Amino acid sequence: MSSSGPAGEDAVALADVPLFAGIAPVEIERLEHFMARFELGAGERLFRQGDESSRMYVMERGHIEVEVELPGGRTKRLARLGPGESLGENSLLLGGRRTASAVATEPTSGWILFRAGFDMLRLDGGAGAVELMARLTESGVARLRRRYEAVAAELPDGAGMFAEGAVHEAATPAAAELATPEYVRGLLCFDEFFDERQVDAVIGGCTPLELPRGALLTANGARGGDLLLVLRGAVDVSVRRGTAAQRVRLAGPGRFVGHVGAIEGGPSPVVAHTHERLIVVEIPGERVRGMLRDPSAAARRFSSAIAEDVSRAMRQAERPVARTLARASAPGALA
């Protein structure tokens, strides 16, 4: 792979990349200072599974296939990415090593965003940085939905469907002190918030709910919805096809549930049930979407927390583990 700075004579303008379309030229020029060009020939690897991760990539032309190495020397394709899409932000948000490999299937070029620049931009209140990070989060949510749909497509097509029940049918108001800014600031997704006022800007006015084990939070195919913040307990997130199911996430305190519905507004590709007695806060989807493009410090930290949690959900959904299928005899049953 070769790379060069954005000022080279043959550099394609960053504004020509779909991800940056419509961003003001002065903001594009500012963003360019954080980035460099890369070029790959057909068959060249962008990175390998297990490599140290210190950068993300934005595609300008060509295609990249993302694959994971499985036990026994086998490989499995996870995604095929093209112009305007990005990859590698999961590693920047979560740290650690690459969890998959990426190879160009044809001559491919694009832009590199290094860790230092990424860390600055995701909390930056400038118009270009805010819009870019909102688009990256939306792209990550769309990719998460596609991953869930791919997992569901690989399940055996069993007859019948799970009995879902009514969403939140057993919900009751929970103790108000469990949703105070002071308490929430101690949770994982809020550890970058400066003070309780920033937390209140996100959850102010939201009522905590308590649900028993096995209660339905998100129904398969349900459209839209709120983003759920887990305060206590855990949520089983699964994909289902007929009577077959696979857990794709167990979300505990300080994690979010319902990214796809709250941010995309489309049908949910997953079912979410309480794993145990649960206390959650519902953050309205309209508020979530608005804060993605809000330049305030509280919104920038909230947007960063959502992006990180989407990355965690994606990493769990891509984890190359043996699948356990369940044939349910009761709502919410999983192996």
- 303 pLDDT exceeds 60? yes
Q: Residue 148 has what DSSP assignment?
A: H
The CATH number that domain 2-121 falls under is 2.60.120.10
Is there a shared CATH topology between the 2-121 domain and the 159-318 domain? yes
pLDDT at 249: 93
C-alpha to C-alpha distance for 242 and 39, rounded to whole angstroms: 44
Of 10, 30, 7, nearest to 20 by C-alpha is 30
Q: Amino acid letter at 191?
A: D
C-alpha to C-alpha distance for 270 and 221, rounded to whole angstroms: 8
Other Cβ atoms less than 10 A from the Cβ of 279: the count is 19
pLDDT band at 322 (very low <50, low <70, confident <90, very high): very low
C-alpha to C-alpha distance for 1 and 177, rounded to whole angstroms: 54
- The strand pair at 45-47 and 101-104 is best described as antiparallel
C-alpha to C-alpha distance for 264 and 249, rounded to whole angstroms: 19
Q: Count of residues for the chain?
A: 335
In angstroms, what CA-CA distances link 308 with 122, 140, 185, 315?
Answer: 11, 10, 16, 11
Q: pLDDT of 52-102, one tens digit each?
A: 888 889 988 999 999 888 877 788 888 899 988 888 888 778 877 888 899
Report, in this order, helix, strand and coil percent for the chain, each rounded to 5. 35, 25, 40
pLDDT at 79: 85
pLDDT at 294: 97
Domain boundaries, the chain: 2-121, 159-318
Give the chain's count of helices (H) and strands (E): 9, 18
Q: Which pTM value belongs to this model?
A: 0.83
C-alpha to C-alpha distance for 121 and 231, rounded to whole angstroms: 29
Structure token pair of residue 211: 């649900």
C-alpha to C-alpha distance for 279 and 269, rounded to whole angstroms: 23
CATH of 159-318, one of 2.40.70.10, 2.60.40.60, 3.40.640.10, 2.60.120.10: 2.60.120.10
pLDDT band at 280 (very low <50, low <70, confident <90, very high): very high
3-state secondary structure 253-287: CCCEECHHHHHHCCECCCEEEECCCEEEEEECHHH
pLDDT at 243: 80
Pick the residue with more confidence: 156 or 125?
125
The strands making up 75-81's β-sheet, listed across from edge to edge, are: 45-47, 101-104, 64-69, 75-81
Q: pLDDT of 129-175, one tens digit each?
A: 999 999 989 989 998 999 899 888 888 875 444 445 556 666 787 77
Structure token pair of residue 44: 């060249």
